[in-house]
Amino acid sequence: MGADLALLDRPLHSQMARKILWAAGAGLTAPLLSGLLELGRVHVPLLAQAWLAVGLAIVGFALPDRQVRAAARKRRAHLRYTVAALLNLVAINLAGGAEVEEAVHNATRLGDSWGFVLLRQHLDRARLARQKVWAAWAHLGQELDVPELRQLAQQVAVAGDEGARMRQALVAMAGALRDQEVAEAEVRAGEASEHMVLPLTFLGGGFLLFLVIPALSRVLGTFGL
């Protein structure tokens, strides 16, 4: 979770505040629903209200974490796409005769998306600290849990400073990242429909249970139970 929050530039205390607010809001939904049913002359036992409130509070407490993971997953996919585009641009600059540092500097200036801005900021910090940009990006990949940046540093370390070998390594890695992105997009498309089934099932089941409990309580009451 720490890497996800870092990727979204969100502090931990802010995330905990959101979780508590969501839990409180979801828990308060139970008495509100009970009040609406009472207006319709449908009595809901206090025990059922309590269990529903606890269940909704647990769901509300966990929901912000799911939102963070989903948002971080999208950002990682965007960053992976950015890295692939950047590698192609660096390779083009190397083919034009530019030195490695110059090629990386020129490539990062050609995009203005979130991913390019992030890589450009760490490039500038690495230059001020007299650190190799690949090492800085490897550290960034470790901090944000983006393995593609760590792999990039490893590929460059193997290729060395020779322009032709580095260009081949960067182009090969860019192609691998594109293939990976296409494969993951197909998987996400297949999982999207499956993910909708479970929430709808729980929602329908919870609603039916909320309606059945008062009716069952009345039936048991007629038998003196």
Write down the pLDDT at residue 55.
84
Helices (H), the chain: 2-7, 12-39, 46-95, 100-108, 114-128, 133-144, 147-159, 163-222
21 within 8 A of 84, measured Cβ to Cβ:
no
What is the pLDDT at residue 159?
61
Residue 43: per-residue pLDDT:
74
Between 220 and 37, the more confident residue is: 37
Judged by average pLDDT, the poorest of 15-19, 61-65, 174-178, 188-192 is 188-192
Q: What pLDDT score was predicted for residue 90? A: 79
Percent of the chain at pLDDT exceeding 70: 73
Domain limits of the chain?
Answer: 2-222
This prediction's pTM: 0.66
Query: Looking at the predicted structure, is the pLDDT value of residue 61 above 80?
Result: yes
pLDDT tens per residue across span 132-187? 777 888 888 888 888 878 877 777 766 665 656 667 777 777 777 777 777 666 66
120 has a pLDDT exceeding 60: yes
Q: What is the pLDDT of residue 147?
A: 83
Mean pLDDT of the chain: 77
pLDDT at residue 214 in the model: 64
Q: How many other C-beta atoms lie within 10 A of the C-beta of residue 144? A: 20
Which residues are within 8 A (CB) of 184 and not within 5 positions of it... i.e. 6 or more apart?
A: 77
Taking residues 88-109, report their average pLDDT: 79
**Radius of gyration of the chain, Cα coordinates, nearest whole angstrom:** 26
Q: What is the pLDDT of residue 20?
A: 92
